[in-house]
Structure 1
Amino acid sequence: MTMKRIARACGIVMAGAALASCGSGNELLGSREAALEQRANLARTADPQPLRSSVFDLFANNDDPNTTLEVNRYLWQASLEVLDFLPVESVDPFSGVIVTGYGTPPGGGRAYRATVYVQDPALDARSLKVALESRGGAVSADTVRAVEDAILTRARQLRIRDSKL
Structure 2
Amino acid sequence: MIFSAVPVRAARRTALIILALSLAACGGGQGDKQGLFSMAPRNEQRAGAGEQRESTIWDLFSNRDTGNQQVGVNRYLWNASLDILDFLPIQTVDPFTGVIVTGYGTPPGGGRAYRATVRISDPSLDARSLKLSLQGPGGAAVAPDTVRTVEDAILTRARQMRVRDGQL
Q: Same fold (TM over 0.5)?
A: yes
1:119 shift after superposition:
0.8
RMSD of the alignment, in Å? 3.2
State the Cα deviation string for residues 114-137 of structure 1 (Å, max 9, x = none). 000011110000000001001051
**Equivalent residue number for residue 123 of structure 1:** 125
**Equivalent residue number for residue 44 of structure 1:** 43
Secondary structure of the residue aligned to 1:138 is: coil
Q: How does 1:28-43 map to 2 (within 5 A)?
A: 43=42
Amino acid across the alignment from 2:89: P
Equivalent-residue separation in structure 2 for 1:45 and 1:142 (angstroms): 58
Match of 1:69 among 52, 68, 71: 71
Structure 1 residues 82 and 51 mapped into 2: Cα distance closer, same or farther (>3 Å)? same
**Equivalent residue number for residue 163 of structure 1:** 166
Amino acid across the alignment from 1:130: L
**Equivalent residue number for residue 80 of structure 2:** 78
1:45 shift after superposition:
6.3
Structure 1 residues 44 and 92 mapped into 2: Cα distance closer, same or farther (>3 Å)? same
Secondary structure of the residue aligned to 2:88 is: coil
**Equivalent residue number for residue 98 of structure 2:** 96
Equivalent-residue separation in structure 2 for 1:133 and 1:140 (angstroms): 10
Q: Give the number of aligned pairs.
A: 125
Equivalent-residue separation in structure 1 for 2:42 and 2:90 (angstroms): 47
Equivalent-residue separation in structure 2 for 1:124 and 1:103 (angstroms): 27
Equivalent-residue separation in structure 2 for 1:93 and 1:160 (angstroms): 22
Amino acid across the alignment from 2:162: R
Amino acid across the alignment from 2:124: A
1:50 shift after superposition:
2.6
**Equivalent residue number for residue 143 of structure 1:** 146
Amino acid across the alignment from 2:151: E
Secondary structure of the residue aligned to 2:104 is: coil
Name which one, 1 or 2, has greater alpha-carbon Rg.
2
Equivalent-residue separation in structure 1 for 2:102 and 2:44 (angstroms): 46
1:141 shift after superposition:
1.2
**Equivalent residue number for residue 111 of structure 2:** 109
Structure 1 residues 122 and 45 mapped into 2: Cα distance closer, same or farther (>3 Å)? farther
State the Cα deviation string for residues 5-25 of structure 1 (Å, max 9, x = none). xxxxxxxxxxxxxxxxxxxxx
